[in-house]
Amino acid sequence: MTQPQSTAFDFLHGKWNVHHRRLKERLCSCEDWQEFSGQMHAQPILGGQGNMDDNILNLPDGAYRAISLRTYDPESDNWAIWWLDNRTPHSLDVPVKGWFEGGKGTFYADDILNNTPIKVRFQWTRIATATPRWEQAFSSDGGITWESNWTMDFTKQE
């Protein structure tokens, strides 16, 4: 039986340790990755029709805080995800929108990177395991090719 879209993010509720791996530069053939730790606490909001998480990202040059805000729209049967961090506290990222199918969540948005239009893709995988994974990828050719540039591997805190 397929889980209803409205509860698709329930796997994420709770406190997590996060292993981050991200490219230092994006869409420029960079192969230099940064790895760093973080923590996240996710909880339901809006009576279960959304969720929010509070993040600490321990970058090598200093930590920062961020939130993800996710809301479910029963009319479209889709989720939207926004990102906001304290380095630019009045700048909410463009939302990625999508859904879960076959145990994987895929979400897309159109955005701008360095004055160039790009497509953004978020994917949630391994959601039925103790170690879910989030991955971000960008495309500068309309979605023909994708560059994965950030992964987060989650481990539940005791």
- Sign of the Cα torsion 50, 118, 87, 135 reads positive
**CATH code of the domain containing 132:** 2.40.128.20
Residue 105, judged by CB atoms within 10 A of its CB (0-12, 13-18, 19+), counts as buried
The whole model's pTM is what? 0.93
Query: For position 5, what pLDDT does the model report?
Result: 87
Domain that holds residue 61: 5-156
Tally the domains of the chain: 1
The alpha-helical segments, DSSP class H, found in the chain are none
pLDDT tens digits, 40-80: 999 999 998 999 999 999 999 999 999 999 999 999 999 99
- Quick one: pLDDT at residue 3? 64
pLDDT tens digits for range 78-99: 999 999 999 999 999 999 999 9
- The label of the residue with tokens 């591997």 reads 153
